[in-house]
Structures are given as C-alpha cells and as structure tokens.
Amino acid sequence: MTTARDLLIVTLDSAADRPTEQGDVSLALAGAELLDLADAGAVTLDGDHIVPGPQHDLDDRLLSEAVATLVRQAPYESVEEWLWRRGRGLHAAYVAALETDGDVARPRRRWSPLRSDRTAVPDSPARSHAAERWASGEPVLAGLTAAVGMRDEPSEDLADLTDDAVVTVLAAVSDAVTELAAERQRRSIEDAAFDNIWRGP
C-alpha cells in the first residue's frame, strides 16, 4: 500500500465523523505521491524543486503514472506546482483505482440496481493497514490528514521531523489547502452577492 492509498482510505472511512473536501484531499494525495516517490528513490528535492531520479518500475499504477508526468528538464517543477497540477482530479482517480481493487465500494440501494454515489470501505487488508497507520499517529499520514482537517492538531511527532523533504511537502500541502479554502470562500461570497443582486431589495 502507498501513502496516497492509505490517506484516501482513512478519509473515506472517517467521512461521517470528519468530512473532507475532495479538492483538499486531491492536493494531499499529490503530496503523498511525492513522498512515496522520494521514498522509492524516483525523485529528490532540491529545496522546493522536484529533481527526477532514474526511471523506476513502481508496483502501483497511479505512482507509475505520476513518475511519467514528472518534469525532467531544468528548471524543475516546484512542489507547489506539482500539487496543483498533479492534484487536479486525483481524488476521483484514486477512488476509481481502489474500487477496481475492491478496497472501496459503492453500495447498491435495496430498491435500485444502480450504485449510490456514497463510497464505503469494506473490511480488507488495505483498510486494516491504513487504520493501523492512522491510529499510530505515523507522522507523514498524520501531517497529511491534519492538512485536510481530519485532526485538530498534528501529531506531536511532526515537531521532531528531521527529513527536509517530508517537512517541505507537508508545509506545501498545508499552504495549498489553505489557499484553496480561501478561494472557495471568495467564490461563495461572490455567488451570494450575485444572488442578492438578482433578488433585489
């Protein structure tokens, strides 16, 4: 299992208690992919820029897809640029991949043969692995879930992180989620103002 898959399972499994925005999770998934690629030696970070390593055969379709989209010429892509570019639609891509693997499901309603839009996480080794990592407060997953609002405070272990790449990526994810929230708020205010104009005094 990858960090991105663990992250999505945890967010789906906790949706009833701690709902998250799909856009926020997409940004965090892109950050999780980047950390998985760094762990695999497929990339290194030079400051906040992503330097591709040798081509890797990765045992995950979406990570392999991520590697294929890396910018391989200097000046390399920044972590922030990666999050916004790679993160677009990534939540849906991971839901589809996990559904194909049987790690998430869309239950059928009793009265309808059509599947619902709600996703459920059935018992599986993947769910157990993600839940164990989440419950342990593992710093990387804790940092990503804190960024999307699933934890009130990050794990205490985050303060002890010494890996510059992890710190850089987690900070970038947090900043991007904050920026996206501000954009949603701005659009909400503009939409409300537009509605008021049409309704009149």
C-alpha to C-alpha distance for 96 and 176, rounded to whole angstroms: 24
pLDDT at site 115: 45
pLDDT at site 173: 96
Classify residue 81 by burial, with Cβ atoms within 10 Å: 0-12, 13-18, 19+: middle
**Nearest of 1, 20, 9, 18 to residue 173 by alpha carbon:** 20
pLDDT at site 65: 94
User: Phi/psi of residue 72, each to 5°?
Assistant: -105, 10
pLDDT at site 76: 94
* Cα 88 to Cα 25, 91, 94, distances in angstroms: 10, 8, 12
C-alpha to C-alpha distance for 28 and 175, rounded to whole angstroms: 11
Name the 3-class secondary structure at 49. strand
* Cα 121 to Cα 5, 30, 58, 95, 127, distances in angstroms: 12, 21, 25, 11, 7
Count CB neighbours of 187 within 10 A: 10
Can you list the residues of the chain whose pLDDT is less than 50? 112, 114-116
What predicted TM-score, i.e. pTM, was given to this entire model?
0.85
Radius of gyration of the chain (CA): 18
pLDDT at site 96: 92
Structure tokens, 192: 């409300």
Tens-digit pLDDT profile for residues 84-129: 999 999 999 999 999 998 888 766 555 545 444 567 777 788 899 9
